Structure 1
């Protein structure tokens, strides 16, 4: 898997984070490439899409549902796999890590790790 957010694409990641914080399907939709895809991993322990979701409308809806911010959730932009990404924490514990593939000024792919076993090393 390749997680590609080049220098200069940090503004796209920040915009993505802002749209997620707002829970705005429309804002997410506008920043997605038409053939965008989201892959999520819940490890069978938390809700995640069982298969990749394709198409900007479906991806925007899926991301909004998976990353819905419950009270007490903090969302930050920070390094994920050496690139700008998004980390969600609830009660101080990491509950999701998001990597993006950015093409031009659009998000082409969203990779969401929700699996608690894979998030244990995150601080």
Structure 2
């Protein structure tokens, strides 16, 4: 269950991603952070878990583009980060990030890029 402090960490994480600040993102990651991405073989994604702050920051910043809008929304009942392509009509969702927060740090990042799994987000169902 997320606590109020966890919500604040997710919002700071989203803000750091929004401005593309590697240093700010890194400051929110635990030393043992792990990121797992799912492209479903349809979009580029890391095939193995990405471990450590420097590598996770590289993974995250590779996703970020100026034409993406980042919002904090409920993802599986918890606050997460949703990336929408504002350069296309209706701003389709291109990625959804779920975060595990321990203390004041992000310890796990799950990145869904698989278009089939994002269909629900695209239609708003």
Per-residue CA distance 1:71-104 (angstroms, 9 max, x = gap): 2x21100100000001011132111000000000
Q: Which runs of 4+ in 1 moved over 6 A?
A: none
Taking the aligned partners of 2:53 and 2:74, their CA distance within structure 1 comes to 25
Task: Give the aligned CA root-mean-square deviation in angstroms.
Answer: 1.1
1:16 aligns with 2:13: yes
Task: With the length of structure 1 as denominator, give the TM-score of the two structures.
Answer: 0.90
- Counterpart selection for 1:7 from 3, 6, 9: 3
Task: With the length of structure 2 as denominator, give the TM-score of the two structures.
Answer: 0.89
Secondary structure class of the residue paired with 2:2: coil
Q: Which residue of 2 aligns with 1:107?
A: 106
Structure 2 residue runs without a partner (length 5+): none
Taking the aligned partners of 2:71 and 2:65, their CA distance within structure 1 comes to 12
- Counterpart selection for 2:23 from 20, 26, 29: 26
Taking the aligned partners of 1:68 and 1:48, their CA distance within structure 2 comes to 13
Structure 1 residue runs without a partner (length 5+): none
Q: Which residue of 2 aligns with 1:81?
A: 76
Taking the aligned partners of 1:46 and 1:62, their CA distance within structure 2 comes to 14
Q: How many residue pairs end up in the alignment?
A: 117
Larger Rg: 2
How far residue 7 of structure 1 moved from its aligned partner, in angstroms, is 2.3
